[in-house]
Structure 1
Amino acid sequence: MFAQFTRIMRWCLLLLLCIPVLAGLVGVIFPALGYFPAIGANSFSLDVFRTLFALDDIWHMVWLSLFTGVGSTLLAMAGAFLLLATFYQSSWLEKVQGLLSPFLVFPHAAAAIALLFVLSPSGIFARFMVLGGNDGPHIAGSSFFPYDEFGFSVLLALSLKELPFIILMALSVMSQPLIKKKLLGYVNVGSSLGYSPTASFFKLVAPSIFTQIKLPILAVLVFATSNVEIPLILGSNNPSTLAVAIMHWFNHIDLFMRLLASGAAVLQVAVSGVALLLFFAVEHFFMYLGKQSLMKGRRHGADALVRGIGYGIVSLYVILISTVIYAVVMYSIAKHWSFPALLPEGVTFLHWGTALEALATPLVNSLLLGMLVSTSAMLLVLFTLESEQLKPAARHANSAFSISLFLPLLVPGVAFLYGLVWFQQLVLQNAVWFHTYIAHMVYVVPYVFLSMAVAYRKFDNRYAMVAQSLGKTPWQVFYRIKLPLMLNAILVAWALGLAISFSQYLPTLLASGGTIATITTEAVASVSGSSTRLTAVYVIIQGAMPLIGFVIAWYLPGVLMKNRGASIKEKNKRRAVLHGT
């Protein structure tokens, strides 16, 4: 009975990931072909695409999307592997992971706003430069960051956000017992042949890791080419990236602009496809270079340079994290903070009172939605992983499931989310919370699954075998053995899901039609409509919210184990008393 239930849950997860994406694609392709009965367009044609390709800036938008998406992914991947090469088999690797964790859970919108406080022409770095003797007006007039027409500021922000995720995926693969043992053997063989640690890593370890995390990297690439929050906050508005233009066209007061936006959404799928092809080309190029390097048999691989870059990346993150914290805290309590002073002119908590009063409803909405989405996603993932243990799927079915798991991440969100909204208007039109819940689940479930799968598949099944030999049912083994032993991993995956739900901007905005305000939607809106000091308060609240889940994940297991130990001790004491009487 329980095994059958877990298989049903696995099918539910599969349908949850596939149906919204496929329905959304259908819902955006029809208007792109001119069919949108809601506004009187009842015939199919290619006029929408003719109008789209006739726009003056359309190819610049495509170029910006490709440049920022492909460039940031390659830069983040290079930085991640340089960090791994520098700290592999070192006690510092866990410390580096801990350092990068804040950027991992920090929402994209909050990260972009925080970088504005630090790197803008009047930011903290510019203030230090002026005090160092540089020309203040020249810095204030700098056009490199933000809003540069070449997209460098968007590329930098995306790279800083993507690198911690790639590191996390690599470390989760490297921690698996069989792979860890295999990689250690590679390193030992390389050392015995005279290869330096850096050369052994890039020639023997890195290829094995890359093949395991290739699919998550492709998901990162598609996300980067179609991201809205960071280009909206840091990018140029004229022209913008294609994803930002799609958002503006869909929200235009003229409903006929939705046809143009639908055509652009289809074009965004093609842009992401081209980005994938470019990535594959770069991959084959580096594979060729790797084979040539192996044939030459060089024992050293610029070890000093690699270590220097690795320590430089760590230093960059330390500086950025420190300055971001300083900047947002100072702005949030500043009465007035003129350039280039390093300290504000007076302190006030007026902005905090204003923000907390305005964000009461968005905060409640964010917490309710995040708790509901993360908890249900965690349960769905747990039952799906248990189904793998009770009745493993065939090889082809398992491959199809893996692809379906990444489907929401491999299809650009701006492509299917707008189509999904059109589909939702036909089905349960007034169920706004339900639609928003589904939109969040589509993005949260894959990450929760990735976080939980490694720990679940590493579980020592000998515990389950012993329990089954004592007559325990599969449900009892699952509930009484597996869940308690994996409580830490379960809570961490739940906290990650909570953080991802908190950070959703476009799914919340579209699925709810703007009727459900969250901390993230309000923070993005505050960039253009509020004071800098009020925006800083929003950033602090948005950045602190993911910590709620992780604090629970860190401390709850200890509390539960302590209570369980006290309960067992009390039972033993009662038994001793009864035995004595």
Structure 2
Amino acid sequence: MLSMLQRPLYWLIILGISMPLLLGLIGVVLPSFGYDPALGQLDFHGQHWQQLFHQSEFWSGLRLSLGSGLLATLFAYWFASSLIMVSFDKPWFTRLQAAITPILSIPHASITIGALFLLAPSGWLVRIISPWLTGFERPPNWLTVQDPNGLALIIALVIKEMPYLMFAMAAALTQLQPDKTLQAARLLGYERLTAWHFTLLPQVFRLMRLPIFMVLAFNMTVVDVATIIGPNTPSTLAVTLLRWFNDPTLLLRGQASAAALVLALMVLLCILVWLLVYRAIHHWRQLHAMSGGRSSWLRYWTLTGATGAAFTLCLTILSLVVLPIWAFAQRWRFPDTWPASWTLDNLSRAGDRLVSLSAASFSLALCSALIGLILALLLLEHERKYQRSDGTVIILFSWVLLPQVTLLFGIQVGLLFLNWNGNWFSVLGLHVLYSLPYVYLTLKAPYLAFNEAYLQQANRLRATPLRNFILIKLALLKAPIAASLAIVFSVSVAQYLPTLLAGEGRINTLTTEAVARAASGDRKLVSVLALAQAILPLICFMLATMIPRYWTTGRLALRRQFCSN
């Protein structure tokens, strides 16, 4: 019975993933060419494109999106790869991996708010060195955040994305034989870091192209981070698009649709350029390796990148530490390094609002994690049985590689047409769609590597396939399942634009509220919201680490207790 339903369920899931994707593309392509029945526009024309190309705000926003997205991705990859290469065979490599794991669970908005409080002219960095070093008794008139060149935005993106790329690179190394490769290169006389560049780094890059492109697409199209710490005049193109789509006159929707398509094409073009540039660099590296030199100037490039990575990790830690300081600070005048007094009144001031927002975030994240896990298991079981994915990967990762701002505006048009807008289930559906690629990617390797002989033997002993699947296979895979649930939970908590557009302001979460209040100037309340947003995924990650470790012993002890009674 299960085998009979497996293939129809698979195609039903693929249809459920593909239809919103198609709807989003159609809903943004047609209005860009003038066809928008909701506004009574039924004639195709190119006026919206002409208006767009005459908008100076479009060109400045596009420049900012391209510059900040590409530079943030380049720095994040350079720093992450450099630190991995420098620390790989050192005793503290394992401790470094353990240190960056909790950072992965922190939502972008929380870290960005912490970076805002850290880098601002009256931020903690200036307070630490004032007045004994700077002489400042008042905050300096510096434009360190929301600067027109987007430097603070680049720093915030690197702070968040570098640990993720380090995690992805460490995972890629487990699929290779780095120790043997490096040993062979060292026996041939190659200097250690040079051996990395000539042998291991090209192999690692092939395995982590998808994470790099996911980071690139996110950095170029992010809305919440750019809203909090990015430039306002002009803003990045993604933030500008959100303002155009929300224009009360609805006259800018066609122009915004055209700009959203341009942004999607720019993301795809940047991915292509990245691949071409990497191929050129790889060809140069091969020629350089064939010259016979056993050392290279690349080691200095790597050491510089590792230094930048260490500095970035320090900024990350300080950005997280400053959140609870502001959340419990009562009086903190500039240039004091620490608050003069502490209080719990900030939590009580948030009061019932904090509880309701936390409950909304938790319920959405928990439901999307469980649904995403079930869908991923069905997709992976089909892939295991038939030894092919039938385009699953392409469809799934279109959701994370195509800009949210492009797809969601088209989906919003469809939700309005179906009268599903402002619905909790619509928000949940989008959270599942944007979380599913992550749980699929996390579970794929351990699930397909599972030894099916255990399950087959269990089915021979007791012909209950579903029960054996749950109690044998899923029980043995409890560690990767727990990790995937934690990752999906944190991804759902961090969702800003899907919640904002599908919920239309009726469904509020910690993320939407924190981003909305980030510019209010009330640092204490914003810190409370950001801290609550960070704590939820952290608790989930802690549980995901602890439960698999004690699950079996605890279950057996409980079973023995019941049997003895």
**What TM-score bracket applies, with the shorter chain setting the length?**
over 0.9
Name which of 328, 333, 338 aligns with 2:333: 338
Which amino acid letter does the alignment assign opposite residue 205 of structure 2? Answer: F
Offset at residue 497 of structure 1 (A): 0.5
Q: Structure 2 vs 1, CA of residues 135 and 17 (structure 1 numbering), >3 Å: closer, same or farther?
A: farther
**Aligned counterparts of 1:430 and 1:155: Cα–Cα separation in 2:** 34
Q: Paired residue for 2:121?
A: 121
Q: Paired residue for 1:479?
A: 470
Which amino acid letter does the alignment assign opposite residue 405 of structure 2? Answer: V
1:110-151 Cα distance to aligned partner (Å, 9 max, x none):
1111101111111111112223421427972222x2111111
CA contact 1:9–1:380 (8 Å) conserved in 2 = no
1:282-329 Cα distance to aligned partner (Å, 9 max, x none):
212311221122212322245864674465345324522442344222
Q: Does 1:507 align with 2:502?
A: no
**Aligned counterparts of 2:2 and 2:90: Cα–Cα separation in 1:** 44
**Aligned counterparts of 1:184 and 1:121: Cα–Cα separation in 2:** 46
CA contact 1:18–1:407 (8 Å) conserved in 2 = no
Q: Paired residue for 2:370?
A: 375
Same amino acid, percent of matched pairs:
29
CA contact 1:3–1:390 (8 Å) conserved in 2 = no
**Aligned counterparts of 2:50 and 2:336: Cα–Cα separation in 1:** 53
CA contact 1:362–1:516 (8 Å) conserved in 2 = no
**Higher mean Cα deviation, 506-515 or 299-308?**
299-308
CA contact 2:422–2:504 (8 Å) conserved in 1 = no
**Higher mean Cα deviation, 351-360 or 247-256?**
351-360
**Aligned counterparts of 1:294 and 1:470: Cα–Cα separation in 2:** 57
Q: Paired residue for 2:25?
A: 25
Offset at residue 485 of structure 1 (A): 0.9
Which amino acid letter does the alignment assign opposite residue 53 of structure 1? Answer: F
CA contact 2:65–2:237 (8 Å) conserved in 1 = yes
Q: Paired residue for 1:578?
A: none
**Aligned counterparts of 1:476 and 1:90: Cα–Cα separation in 2:** 45
**Aligned counterparts of 2:302 and 2:59: Cα–Cα separation in 1:** 40
**Higher mean Cα deviation, 294-303 or 356-365?**
294-303
Q: How many residues align?
A: 565
Offset at residue 163 of structure 1 (A): 1.5
CA contact 1:69–1:275 (8 Å) conserved in 2 = no
**Aligned counterparts of 1:234 and 1:373: Cα–Cα separation in 2:** 28
**Aligned counterparts of 1:469 and 1:185: Cα–Cα separation in 2:** 41
Offset at residue 560 of structure 1 (A): 2.9
**Aligned counterparts of 2:558 and 2:330: Cα–Cα separation in 1:** 53
Q: Paired residue for 1:536?
A: 527
CA contact 2:51–2:255 (8 Å) conserved in 1 = yes
Offset at residue 375 of structure 1 (A): 0.4
Task: Report 1:304-323 matches (<5 A).
Answer: 305=300, 308-309=303-304, 312-313=307-308, 315-323=310-318
Q: Paired residue for 2:271?
A: 276
1:510-564 Cα distance to aligned partner (Å, 9 max, x none):
0111110000000001112351111111111111111131122123234432332
CA contact 2:369–2:435 (8 Å) conserved in 1 = yes
Give unmatched runs, 5+ long, in structure 1. Answer: 575-581
Task: Report 1:156-171 matches (<5 A).
Answer: 156-171=155-170
Offset at residue 220 of structure 1 (A): 1.6
Offset at residue 420 of structure 1 (A): 0.1
Q: Paired residue for 2:213?
A: 218
Q: Does 1:172 align with 2:163?
A: no
CA contact 1:355–1:534 (8 Å) conserved in 2 = yes
Q: Paired residue for 1:363?
A: 358
Q: Paired residue for 1:249?
A: 244
Task: Report 1:164-203 matches (<5 A).
Answer: 164-175=163-174, 179-181=175-177, 183-203=178-198
Offset at residue 421 of structure 1 (A): 0.6
The residue matched to 1:14 in structure 2 has which SS? helix
CA contact 2:79–2:306 (8 Å) conserved in 1 = no
Q: Does 1:285 align with 2:280?
A: yes
Q: Paired residue for 2:86?
A: 86
**Aligned counterparts of 2:312 and 2:541: Cα–Cα separation in 1:** 21
Q: Does 1:415 align with 2:406?
A: yes
Q: Structure 2 vs 1, CA of residues 247 and 4 (structure 1 numbering), >3 Å: closer, same or farther?
A: same
**Aligned counterparts of 1:17 and 1:226: Cα–Cα separation in 2:** 21
**Aligned counterparts of 2:471 and 2:385: Cα–Cα separation in 1:** 16
1:222-278 Cα distance to aligned partner (Å, 9 max, x none):
111111111111111111110000011111211112222112111211221332233
CA contact 2:227–2:239 (8 Å) conserved in 1 = yes
**Aligned counterparts of 1:239 and 1:381: Cα–Cα separation in 2:** 41
Which amino acid letter does the alignment assign opposite residue 165 of structure 2? Answer: I
Q: Structure 2 vs 1, CA of residues 200 and 15 (structure 1 numbering), >3 Å: closer, same or farther?
A: farther
CA contact 2:422–2:507 (8 Å) conserved in 1 = no
CA contact 1:17–1:407 (8 Å) conserved in 2 = no
Q: Paired residue for 1:449?
A: 440
**Aligned counterparts of 1:188 and 1:17: Cα–Cα separation in 2:** 46
CA contact 1:70–1:279 (8 Å) conserved in 2 = no
Q: Structure 2 vs 1, CA of residues 326 and 434 (structure 1 numbering), >3 Å: closer, same or farther?
A: closer
Q: Paired residue for 1:74?
A: 74
Give unmatched runs, 5+ long, in structure 2. Answer: none
Q: Does 1:264 align with 2:259?
A: yes
**Aligned counterparts of 1:537 and 1:568: Cα–Cα separation in 2:** 42
CA contact 2:80–2:309 (8 Å) conserved in 1 = no
Offset at residue 482 of structure 1 (A): 1.1
Q: Paired residue for 1:489?
A: 480
Q: CA RMSD in A?
A: 2.3
**Aligned counterparts of 1:76 and 1:10: Cα–Cα separation in 2:** 36
TM-score normalised by the chain length of structure 1? 0.92
1:430-485 Cα distance to aligned partner (Å, 9 max, x none):
67122111111111000111111122123233423443554656434422221111
Q: Structure 2 vs 1, CA of residues 198 and 363 (structure 1 numbering), >3 Å: closer, same or farther?
A: same
CA contact 1:440–1:507 (8 Å) conserved in 2 = yes
Offset at residue 62 of structure 1 (A): 1.0
TM-score normalised by the chain length of structure 2? 0.94
**Aligned counterparts of 2:95 and 2:16: Cα–Cα separation in 1:** 37
Offset at residue 571 of structure 1 (A): 7.8
**Aligned counterparts of 2:282 and 2:534: Cα–Cα separation in 1:** 39
CA contact 2:112–2:225 (8 Å) conserved in 1 = yes
Q: Paired residue for 1:550?
A: 541
Q: Paired residue for 2:150?
A: 151
CA contact 1:73–1:221 (8 Å) conserved in 2 = yes
**Aligned counterparts of 2:261 and 2:563: Cα–Cα separation in 1:** 66
The residue matched to 1:335 in structure 2 has which SS? strand
CA contact 1:100–1:317 (8 Å) conserved in 2 = no
CA contact 2:32–2:254 (8 Å) conserved in 1 = yes
1:377-432 Cα distance to aligned partner (Å, 9 max, x none):
01111222222222322xxx54x222122110111110010110101112253671
CA contact 2:421–2:502 (8 Å) conserved in 1 = no
**Aligned counterparts of 1:289 and 1:303: Cα–Cα separation in 2:** 12
Q: Paired residue for 2:512?
A: 521
Q: Paired residue for 1:232?
A: 227
CA contact 1:85–1:202 (8 Å) conserved in 2 = no
**Aligned counterparts of 2:316 and 2:159: Cα–Cα separation in 1:** 11
Q: Paired residue for 2:51?
A: 51
Which amino acid letter does the alignment assign opposite residue 174 of structure 1? Answer: L
Q: Does 1:464 align with 2:459?
A: no
Offset at residue 21 of structure 1 (A): 1.8
**Aligned counterparts of 2:206 and 2:402: Cα–Cα separation in 1:** 21
The residue matched to 1:136 in structure 2 has which SS? coil
Q: Structure 2 vs 1, CA of residues 138 and 310 (structure 1 numbering), >3 Å: closer, same or farther?
A: same
